[in-house]
Amino acid sequence: MGATQRQIARTFNCSQTTISKLIIRYQQTGQTQDQSRSGRPRVTTPAGDRYIRQIHLRNRCVTATSTAATALGHAISRRTVLRRLRTGGIRAYRPFRGMALTRLHRQRRLQWARTVRRWQRRDWARVLFTDESRFCLFRNDGRVRVFRRMGE
């Protein structure tokens, strides 16, 4: 076409070096495609990554395993789905279930607080406090998790 490399680079908004290397590659190989690189090729495309994030934002209770099996038409690993979600700012959290306090619950709590208000140290020594923390040795603890954007 008679255009200089600098004009072509300005048209495509890239550096002149990129255009120069592209011309050399075309002269040597007869095509402009990238050469194959080392390393494992990506299983998902950027469009597939966006689709995975969309699925989990629309339905937060969908599991990563079910998405891996059905989302893209071919099987990908659960870990791949979780990585794609994490790069999109979405992580799995336990859904919050707050205590639903009824009027009776509040009355009983107030009554208990008034009862123990004047207790001495010897009175509290007879009380056994238990910790209800759960410890999980394996990942599957039976809890349902939902996906949310980080910071929500």
Q: Which residues of the chain have pLDDT under 70?
A: 1, 134-135, 138-142, 151-152
pLDDT value of position 29: 86
Output the pLDDT for position 124. Answer: 87
Residues 27 and 51 in one domain: no
Give me the residue label for tokens 């590659």: 25
Q: Quote the domain boundaries for residue 57.
A: 46-95+143-149
DSSP string, 92-121: EEPPP------HHHHHHHHHHHHHHTT--H
Number of domains in the chain: 2
| Segment 103-128, tens digit of pLDDT | 899 999 999 999 999 999 998 888 87
Confirm whether 115 is domain-assigned: no
